[in-house]
Amino acid sequence: MMRTLLTVFRKEVLDNVRDRRTLVSALIMGPLFGPMLFAFMINLSIERSLEDAERVIELPVIGAERAPNLRRYLESRNIDVVDGPADRAAALDAVANGTHDIVLVIPEEFGEQFTKAVPARVEVIADRSNTQADRLARRARTALHAYSGELASIRLSARGVSPLAMRPLNIDDVDVSTPSGRSAILLGMMSYFLIFAMLMGGMYLAIDTTAGERERGSLEPLLALPVTRNQLLLGKVAATCVFMALSLGLSLGSFYVALKFMPLDELGMTPNFGPLTVGAAFLVLAPFILLGAAVMTLVASFTKSYREAQTWLSGVLLAPTLPILIVSILTLRPRLEFMFVPSLSQHLLLVDMVKNKPLDPLHVAISVCSTLLLGGLLTWICARLYRREGLLG
């Protein structure tokens, strides 16, 4: 029994190591795609957060000459005032068609209203559906509010009223999140990338076990050999698992390296992702390997061709996101019953690890056992299906 299993296993490994498609998806696509996308997203959010405070922006203004003080104030806040379109109608057009992201309009009556100390109207024209423009508009609005607040204080003081009367409340934000905790939000996506890479690593082997062998015509002679189908299937599933484990290990490694080079400190994040966490993450995610291999083999065994199997399995690659997504949207905290849900339990445990929170041994035990049990059950079903006549198509 073991010898046959080992023979099948060794052949599958050799066969797939020589298959460029498998190698690319197992060793390159999965492990590199995740961390690269990740690095890209993190860099983008770092750029954005820095941008808001420091970068000098250009603000096209119509009628800037009517408010020289406002102009000076804006310029002191890193907002360069430039000449805007000819009139308000042109400004609306320019924003609508994207020539300008935002235009500030200072109407003719501004000076008069300002002198009379009635609210002087200014207009911020922007397209809210455009996130880039919305950020600029927010900066302009914040600056205008601040200017308005300063003027109010001055006017109150001039009338002998303390500007403090304007602030009945003094609101302070106290943030209890730790730098590791803040990183968990962003790094929470990591668990999905890891599971994705893991599945990618075994996808072509899982297809090959059934649909591939059938399409090639090598399944029938194989089944006519003096071995049991269980031995064949288990050998193939074992090889699939090894490729998945390899892919997972490489992904963890590439994440480890990528995070080292990411300026996460600038975002106030220090994820707990040292070599020890990487090792623990591998162990926590490893039970999912068997489950993933079994699910992919199962799905592939129902398909009629290699291509059909590929189509269906791309769907399977997305399935593990579902529970992660639901929990993230509802921002649910880890609970005992979540540990029975594969992919979700791995995700939650990983997030806790990255947050540097101690793991509840019971949670780990439930996650490992339930995932392994389900994986074992599905492998057994695969083996049953491998024995049916319809396997040959």
Partner 1 sequence: MIKVEGIHKSFGKVHAVRGVSFDAPDGKITGLLGPNGAGKSTTLRVLYTVLRPDAGRATIDGADVVTQGLDARRRIGALPHGAGLYPHLTARENVAYYARLCGIDAASIDERVEDIIGLLEIGGFADRRTKGFSQGQRTKVALARSLVHDPQNIILDEPSNGLDVMATRSLRDLILKLKDAGRCVLFSSHVMQEVAALCDDICIIANGKVAIDDSADGIRRRTGCDDLEDAFVKAIQMVDPA
Is residue 371 within 8 A of residue 287, CB to CB? The reply is: yes
Q: Spell out, one character per residue from 1 to 20, where the chain touches partner 1: x when CB under 8 A holds, - when not.
A: --xx--xx--x--xxx-xx-
Place of tokens 């994440």: 255
Question: CB of residue 204 vs partner 1: minimum separation in angstroms?
Answer: 12
Closer Cβ to partner 1, 14 or 82, answer by number:
14
Distance CA 154, CA 77 (A): 19
Question: CB of residue 217 vs partner 1: minimum separation in angstroms?
Answer: 3
Closer Cβ to partner 1, 58 or 220, answer by number:
220
Stretches 191-199, 212-220, 291-299, 374-382: which one binds partner 1 (CB under 8 A)? 212-220
Closer Cβ to partner 1, 19 or 134, answer by number:
19
Question: CB of residue 2 vs partner 1: minimum separation in angstroms?
Answer: 12
- List Cβ neighbours of 66 (8 Å cut-off, separation of 6 or more): 106, 107, 108, 110, 111
Q: Is 156 in the site for partner 1 (CB under 8 A)?
A: no
Question: CB of residue 29 vs partner 1: minimum separation in angstroms?
Answer: 19
Looking only at residues 360 through 389 of this chain, which bind partner 1 when binding is defined by CB under 8 A?
389
Question: CB of residue 207 vs partner 1: minimum separation in angstroms?
Answer: 14
Cα dist from 75 to 51, 70, 104, 124, whole Å: 16, 9, 14, 17
Looking only at residues 224 through 263 of this chain, which bind partner 1 when binding is defined by CB under 8 A?
224-228
- What one-character-per-residue DSSP string does 255-324 give? HHHHHHHS-GGGGT-----SHHHHHHHHHHHTHHHHHHHHHHHHHHHT-SSHHHHHHHHHHHHHTTHHHH
- What one-character-per-residue DSSP string does 288-303 give? HHHHHHHHHHHHHHT-
DSSP letter at 211? Answer: I
* Among 43, 49, 157, 218, contact with partner 1 (rule: CB under 8 A): 218
Question: CB of residue 220 vs partner 1: minimum separation in angstroms?
Answer: 4
* Among 68, 160, 168, 221, contact with partner 1 (rule: CB under 8 A): 221
Distance CA 71, CA 53 (A): 18
Closer Cβ to partner 1, 19 or 52, answer by number:
19
Closer Cβ to partner 1, 8 or 206, answer by number:
8
| Count, residues near partner 1 per rule CB under 8 A | 24
Which pair of tokens denotes residue 206? 């899982």
Is residue 245 within 8 A of residue 191, CB to CB? The reply is: no
Of the candidates 69, 150, 142, 80, the residue with the CA atom closest to the CA atom of residue 111: 69
Q: What is the dihedral of CA 349, 283, 376, 390, to 10 degrees?
A: 100
Question: CB of residue 231 vs partner 1: minimum separation in angstroms?
Answer: 9
Site residues, partner 1 (CB under 8 A): 3-4, 7-8, 11, 14-16, 18-19, 216-218, 220-228, 389, 392
